[in-house]
Amino acid sequence: MGHRVVITGYGIVSSIGLNAGEVLDSLIGGHSGIGGITRFETIHKGKLPLAEVKLSNKELVDHCGLRSVRNYTRTSLLGIAAAMQAAAMAGYAAGQELRTGLISATTVGGMDRSEDFYPPFLENSAKGRLREVVNHDCGDSTEKIAGFLGIRDYTTTISTACSSSANSLMLGAELIKAGMLDRVIAGGTDAVTRFTLNGFNTLMILDKEGCRPFDGNRAGLTIGEGAAFLVLETEENALKHGKPIYGILSGYGNANDAYHQTASSPEGTGAALAMKKALDMGSLLPADISYINVHGTGTQNNDLSEGIAVQNIFGENVPPFSSTKSFTGHTLGAAGAIEAVLSLLSIQQDAVFPNLRWSTPMKELYIKPVTELIRDAGLEHVMSNSFGFGGNNSSLVLSKYIP
Amino acid sequence: MVTTSDSIYINGLGNISPQKTSDNSNFLKEPVTSVTNRLACIEPNYRDFISPDILRRMGRLIKMGVASSRICLEDAGCSMPDAIITGTGLGCLEDTEKFLGTLVRNKEELLTPTSFIQSTHNTVSAQIALLLKCHNYNFTYVHRGWSFESALTDAMVQIKNGRASTVLAGGMDELTNGSFAITSRLGHWRRKPADTACLFSNPAKGSIAGEGSAFFLLSSAPGPSTYAVLSGLQTFNPKSLNNSLPAILEGFLGQAGMLPGDIDLALCGMNGDTSSDSIYKELTDSLGNSGIAAWKHLSGEYQTSSAFGLWMASMIMKSGDIPDQAVIRGTGERPVKTILIYNHHLGLNHSFILIRKP
């Protein structure tokens, strides 16, 4: 149980870049990935923004070196594109002696193709092409990624709404600490679909102008898509194999708000509990955290609840914080892992990325986000929050690697 | 990956299934048989578990999940578990279909949020937490025929790593007309209705569809109603391990400090489908004279049906009785102290669960 779990590789695909380098350029340059809807036909085209990955499914197939688009959902293609970067960076190869697992996360799975299957099926249950629906389930994308990478020792999928892939990292670290696996590729993937776009629209929490996290005039979130995976292993293993170490997963915690199916409690009970658990696991005090990559969706409810929880945990000394969802949109099941990668990039660059589209303080809070890039930020421990439906609250602490 | 432990106890059960299982004092005394290719749950009066105003908005799988979790917690005498972990192949399918159907029919207009909210895969574990006001660890796994096994693995790891001493873990899936139509077209079910009482003596292509929700209270210490010790679990795909089933079993049992000859009863996931039941035979042939029993003629086939299997194994362990209708090959005079549950889903997701007498 005393082992430190370190990060030896990471990969990311999002609306602001198809790899960590492109993503970093966008973050430094202040270029958001939020724009118009181009991926599918919807009545919301031209009215609601999205943060889409710029490649079509066909282009993603080519990008990943796959043969045919036929058996792949967009969720699995995004997942493969991110996981293959992480695996390559960590020097993973199938057949190595290290016991390696894959833990992925998704909320919609293959819904993008089920949406094509459903209209003819609704008319007549003997209609609709079966190959559009056989990849519907959440496990499908994980199996596709595992097949692509040749993972054999363990494979599973987590779905806890918008905290899903933060929870993948948590499980990965626990399996390593229990000595059951030597190495885990953990993260998540989600494609934008009409299902989620319309679902969040019925809740009236989509900002027509693009999300404005922690702004007094914020009007909701912006849905994004993408995937990210991190390679976790014990420090001993990484050192033994001479691998570069990019950071430590030093703390994590999951707690339930137990307040409402979708709304967060006014006092941010679950959020505060998750942050406290993550700090305790890392034997850290609030003052040790040098930056918080907040959940910060841009909804009235989340940002107020999270802001109050942050104030309660950190008191008068709240560290610099920002929501990178202002760049990537809210990538749902992939958000936890995407933001863990962005937190690592922050540590690597010693930079705090700004919270875009912010202009007005929230009158209920005494804190406000970072709105300009901070360099030489002196980052040691970065906290990353991910909260989801069902009151599912998770917090991670990623730390600079000091031998 | 193999998970083992010698100090994880199954202290409570709650099962809603196509059999009369919601009362733990009645162990399949009146088995329900029918001539069909799909089985539906016998649902309890939910008002015994959930208040009417909450009940009205709940989807069917949520009701089944919440009620079976309540039965389980009461059975174990546990009011607040340290963790809630669920597994589901497809989650709240009825709500998912409802939202998608309305979206298509109404061309994205005039949609309401309830079915979208409930379609989220972690709704059952979230509702259990909400009704208990349980702020603890809350996870949901969604990996086909490994969904329940993944939840159980995490539950064992939480206890092993000292994060929790009591974990409420369960598996649940619901069958809808839509999913039955799709899986029928995929050839999963018998074309002609089959007599569930003699499913295995009339093998044919296809199985019978089922559904259910079963919960287990796992604890680091035995309790007043302990059923069994959960001592091992492995999820695997023989093809990707490039190994034979008997060899994989031997490796698994070795890690749990046992030999194949120690298995008193192999509870197998046979489902009457000739295209995949031969896989079970490959394993049972290697087990010598242990007893063999089955459960899917009682529960039907679904992604988390191994939760019904673990429920049945736990009941057998505590009562010492193997229900007649479950026996494939009797145990004779041999007392049942160790049960291996072996299941595979569509030949891809295989699992071993090992329990023993406390």
Does A115 lie in the same domain as A58? yes
- Does residue A1 surpass a pLDDT of 60? no
Structure tokens at A95: 């057949």
pLDDT for the residue numbered A149:
97
What is the distance, to the nearest Å, from the Cα of residue B267 to the centroid of all Cα atoms in its chain? Answer: 13
The residue among A240, A272, A297 that closes a domain is: A240
Tell me if A245 is assigned to some domain: no
Q: Which residue has the tokens 């008191």?
A: A315
CATH code, domain with A300: 3.40.47.10
Six-digit token pair at A358? 């912010």
pLDDT of A402 > 60? The answer is yes
**How would residue B288 be classed by pLDDT, with cut points 50, 70 and 90?**
confident
Do A316 and A200 lie in one domain? The reply is no
pLDDT tens for B302-351 read: 999 999 999 999 999 999 999 999 999 999 989 999 999 999 999 999 99
What average pLDDT score do residues B12-22 get?
A: 98
Is residue A262 a part of any domain in this protein? yes
Q: What does the pLDDT look like over A258-289, one tens digit per residue?
A: 999 999 999 999 999 999 999 999 999 999 99
Does A267 share its domain with A166? no
Fold equal for B10-219 and B228-356: yes
Q: Chain B residues with CB inside 8 Å of A199's CB? A: 99, 111, 113, 116-117, 119
CA distances from B148 to A363, B42, B89, B307, B309 (A): 46, 21, 8, 7, 11
Residue A96 confidence (pLDDT): 84
Q: Using one digit for the tens of pLDDT, what is the confidence trace for B143-154?
A: 999 999 999 999
Q: Which residue of A has its CA nearest to B131?
A: A258
Asked if the structure places residue A246 within a domain, the reply is no
Per-residue confidence band for A2, with pLDDT thresholds at 50, 70 and 90: low
| Mean per-residue pLDDT, B251-280 | 96
Chain-chain contact of B143 with A154 (C-beta, under 8 angstroms): no
Which of these ranges, A27-31, A159-163, A375-379, B282-286, has the smallest mean pLDDT? B282-286
Structural domain spans, chain B: 10-219, 228-356
For the domain spanning B228-356, the CATH number is 3.40.47.10
Cα B173 from Cα A359, distance rounded (Å): 47
- Tokens found for residue B318: 């505590």
Same domain, A162 and A296: no
Residues A148 and A269 in one domain: no
Same domain, A10 and A137: yes
The mean pLDDT value for A52-70 works out to: 95
Q: Any idea of the CA torsion for B104, B109, B113, B117, to the nearest 10 degrees?
A: 30
Residue A104 host element (H or E)? strand A100-105
> Are A231 and A257 found together in one domain?
no
Residue A40, pLDDT above cutoff 80: yes
Burial of residue A113, with CB atoms counted within 10 A of its CB: 0-12 exposed, 13-18 middle, 19 or more buried:
buried
| Contact of B171 with B304, CB cutoff 8 Å | yes
Q: What is the mean pLDDT of residues B234-258?
A: 95
- The percentage of residues in chain A with a pLDDT greater than 90, rounded to a whole number, is 98
**Which chain B residues contact residue A166 at CB under 8 A?**
none
Structure tokens at B77: 């005498």
Interface test with A, best of B143, B186, B235 (most A CBs within 10 A): B143
Among A182, A217, A240, identify where a domain stops. Answer: A240
User: Which of B31, B8, B15, B45 has its CA nearest to residue B309?
Assistant: B15
Residues in Cβ contact with B333 at an 8 Å cutoff, skipping those fewer than 6 apart = none
Are residue A155 and residue A134 in the same domain, yes or no? yes
Q: Within this chain, do residues A255 and A232 fall inside the same structural domain, yes or no?
A: no
A177 within a domain of the structure (yes/no)? yes
pLDDT in tens, B111-132: 999 999 999 999 999 999 999 9
Q: Is residue A151 part of a domain?
A: yes
Nearest to B33 by CA among B302, B297, B306, B320: B297
Q: What is the DSSP string of A16-80?
A: TBSSHHHHHHHHHHT----B---SS--TTTTTS-BB--SS-HHHHHHHHT-S-STT--HHHHHHH
The CA distance from A26 to the nearest CA of chain B, in Å, is: 32
Q: Give CA separation, A186 vs A11, A171, A183, A356, in Å.
A: 10, 8, 9, 28
Q: In Å, how far is A36's CA from the nearest CA of chain B?
A: 18
Q: Percent of chain A, pLDDT > 70?
A: 100
Query: Is A79 part of a structural domain of the chain?
Result: yes
What pLDDT is attached to residue B277?
96
Same domain, A291 and A347: yes
What domain count does chain A have?
Answer: 2
Please check whether residue A103 lies inside any domain of the structure: yes
Whole-number average pLDDT of chain B: 97
Do A229 and A262 sit in the same domain of this protein? no
What pLDDT is stored for residue A348 in this prediction? Answer: 97
Whether A116 and A218 share a structural domain: yes
A47 in Cβ contact with A56 (< 8 Å): no
Q: Which domain holds residue A379?
A: 251-399
- CB A389 to CB B108 under 8 A? no
| pLDDT at residue B47, rounded to an integer | 96
The tokens describing B299, both together, are 């529960």
A370: tokens are 């970072």
pLDDT-based confidence at residue A351 (cuts at 50, 70, 90): very high
- Closest partner residue to B142 (CB to CB) among A157, A203, A262 is A157
Structure tokens belonging to residue A221: 């979130």
**What is the per-residue pLDDT for A3?**
79
Q: Specify burial of residue A44 (Cβ count, 10 A radius: 0-12, 13-18, 19+).
A: middle
Residue range B10-219, CATH number? 3.40.47.10
Nearest CA in chain B to A160: B122
Q: Is the pLDDT of residue B254 over 80?
A: yes
- Per-residue pLDDT tens for B201-212? 998 999 999 999
- What's the whole-model pTM score? 0.98
